[in-house]
Amino acid sequence: MRSLVHRAALLLLPLVESAVLVAPSAVAETIAGHRPSPDLAVGRAAYQQHCARCHGVEGRGDGYDAKRLYPRPRDLTEGIFKFRSTATGTTPTDEDLFNTLTNGLPGTGMPDWSHLDEGARWQLVAYLTSLSAAFTDAPPESVNLGTDPGPKRADHAQGHAVYEKLGCAACHGLGGRGNGPSAATLVDNWGRPTRPKDLTEGWSYRGGNRPRDIVARMLTGIDGTPMPSYAEAVSTDDAWQLAYYVRSLQRDIASTMIAHARRLEGPLPEDPDDPRWQEAPRADARLRAVVDTQGQINAPQTVTRLSVWVLHNGEAMGLRLMWNDTSDDRGTPADALAVALLPQGLGGDVVSLQTWPLRDTPSLDLCLWSAAQTAGEAREAVAKDFSTLFDGTIAGTVRESRAAYLDGEWTVVITRPLAPTDVPGAAQLDAQAIVPVGFVVWDGGNPSQRAVSMWIDVVLRPPKTRGQGHEAAPSKTQGGGGAIWAIASVVLVAGLGLVIKTR
Ligand code: HEC
Ligand code: HEC
């Protein structure tokens, strides 16, 4: 174990300087004055209180929540750290660990701990470095990240050329959607399947999504994973150009619990590319992986977000759904999607898609689209589970649908009558309704995994226009999705012990 006193003394001197020369991989403000002298008993107590349920009492990554998380919580005794400012194969600096604690690892189960005061975070850092023999007396130095050219001097064409030259596309794909030819073959140091990051999902970069963070990832690698260090292969200038290019691939996420529909007159668009879809605002739903029957997750989550646009014409509702999927799977198992509604009369009952179906959960109104279906076919039925719809035990009623797959992205349009008479028990909506809708996505290339959204309120009634006084009370035909979501979260937390703050 590295001497803690020694480390503390080291820190007082070069902190300010090092923050300027080699800025840490994430945004934390590190003020030397707030750093208490290390007290392992304090660090250990904080660890047991906040970290042990995932990382285990001894830090071996075997806490009781561990199997429900993917990637798994790290074995902190091994000394392998993904997000460092230091060369590949070395330990992180104390500041790196502090930043990881402060920012968390977005898109994974690792929460951020910015609500703990700075002193407590430093005590945790000191405790972490006591857990592994990899931390030696001579802490490694941060890698020199070179000079940020600034966004004005960023040249995306040059960055793209570096992306091609270094072979990033082999894993991350030409457009960065994580769909390169090697993507589905990767395994990490712990023998578990892993996937290259979908670089377009800017919100889910674990080590930060700014150009500086991306340069740090390139020059230090992500240890424990197939993502190598390019320190020997790229100049810092090229690394910055590449980082600005990667930054330009990132899309924002309009994460929401509410999707506002727009009303059109006449037939609804069937073509996924019809410009009229743009009249409805986009709503994004974060998807979460569902645990298997053993309460575990054993595969990486490949579909992490779904974008939705809703149109209706008073008679029917059209949904345009878009999500990233690294492979176009139309065989068995096929890519598939279900739109879930609460059947008629199920207003008050609450069910979370993350735990559906369980033995006593109520049936749902499902509109299942599968890439394996005859082109343009989605089927709706009120069902007790998904499998009966998949295997044809329940035939369901065919709904108009169209689908297109392009470079790692599905776009599917499904149209459904607002008040269908051809499906017993189906949700009956009207043009004033606020309807809870949930989404379920299967990736045929990652078949053990199902990803689900929370319930989202789809607002069919027209938006309030300026100057309009009071509106007629909304007709909440199906009960409030917001309330359902809140209760579902509680059910989740209670039922699965998951209190995960991912961003
Ligand atoms: C809800 C579960 C959970 C809790 C609680 C949790 N972690 Fe983690 N932690 C994870 C997961 C999952 C990972 C692995 C993420 C990955 O590999 O991408 C992780 C990774 C880490 C890493 C490795 C970072 C790296 O660069 O590789 C450190 C360090 C860490 N956690 C420290 C802590 C500390 C300290 C606490 C308590 C203050 C804590 N964690 C609490 C789930 C958790
Ligand atoms: C051999 C496959 C492979 C190659 C080649 C590769 N990566 Fe990665 N990359 C990965 C994997 C796997 C991950 C996810 C690691 C993890 O966190 O588990 C990743 C993650 C990333 C991340 C996300 C880091 C974060 O904060 O979450 C960035 C950015 C990235 N890679 C950029 C690049 C760039 C730029 C190149 C080319 C210079 C490249 N990668 C080449 C496999 C690869």
The CA-atom distances, in angstroms, between 462 and each of 81, 314, 315 are 51, 11, 15
Of the candidates 221, 249, 277, which is a domain's last residue? 249
Tell me, yes or no, whether 328 and 390 share the same domain: yes
Contacts of residues 397-400 at CB distance under 8 Å and 24 or more positions apart, as own/partner, are: 397/422, 397/423, 399/367, 400/270, 400/376
37 and 5 in contact (C-beta within 8 Å)?
yes
pLDDT of residue 472: 41
**Residue of minimum CA distance from atom 43 in ligand 2:** 227
Determine the residue of 65, 68, 110, 186 to mutate for testing ligand 1's pocket, defined as the one with the most ligand atoms within 8 A of the Cβ atom.
110
Amino acid at 253: I
pLDDT of residue 477: 40
Tell me, yes or no, whether 158 and 126 share the same domain: no
Determine the residue of 60, 67, 68, 74 to mutate for testing ligand 1's pocket, defined as the one with the most ligand atoms within 8 A of the Cβ atom.
74
Joined tokens for residue 416: 């459904």
The sign of the torsion formed by the CA atoms of 299, 500, 451, 277 equals negative
Taking the CB of residue 18, how many other CB atoms lie within 10 A of it? 18
**Which backbone phi and psi does 215 adopt, to 5 degrees?**
-60, -45
pLDDT of residue 474: 41
Mean pLDDT of each 10-residue bin along the chain, 503 residues long: 43 33 40 80 98 98 96 97 97 97 95 96 98 91 97 97 98 96 96 96 95 98 98 98 98 88 96 96 94 90 96 97 94 94 79 87 94 79 94 93 94 97 96 94 92 95 66 40 41 38 35
C-alpha 149/C-alpha 140 separation (Å) is 26
pLDDT of residue 5: 41
Specify if 137 maps to a domain.
Answer: no
List the domain range (segments joined by +) for residue 309.
Answer: 266-466+475-496
Ligand 1 centroid to Cα of residue 282, in Å, is 33
Tell me, yes or no, whether 275 and 394 share the same domain: yes
Tell me, yes or no, whether 181 and 101 share the same domain: no
Specify if 180 maps to a domain.
Answer: yes
User: Residue 69: CB within 6 Å of ligand 1?
Assistant: yes
User: Residue 109: CB within 6 Å of ligand 1?
Assistant: yes
**Residue of minimum CA distance from atom 43 in ligand 1:** 110
The CA-atom distances, in angstroms, between 348 and each of 31, 289, 456, 478 are 51, 25, 16, 8
Tell me, yes or no, whether 176 and 309 share the same domain: no
**Which backbone phi and psi does 458 adopt, to 5 degrees?**
-95, 120
Ligand 1 centroid to Cα of residue 73, in Å, is 5
Tell me, yes or no, whether 420 and 315 share the same domain: yes
Q: How many domains does the structure of the chain reveal?
A: 3
Residues 6+ apart with CB under 8 A from 49: none
Residues enclosing ligand 2, CB less than 6 A? 71, 82, 166-168, 170-172, 182, 186, 194, 196-197, 199, 205-207, 214, 217-218, 222, 225-227, 230, 242, 246
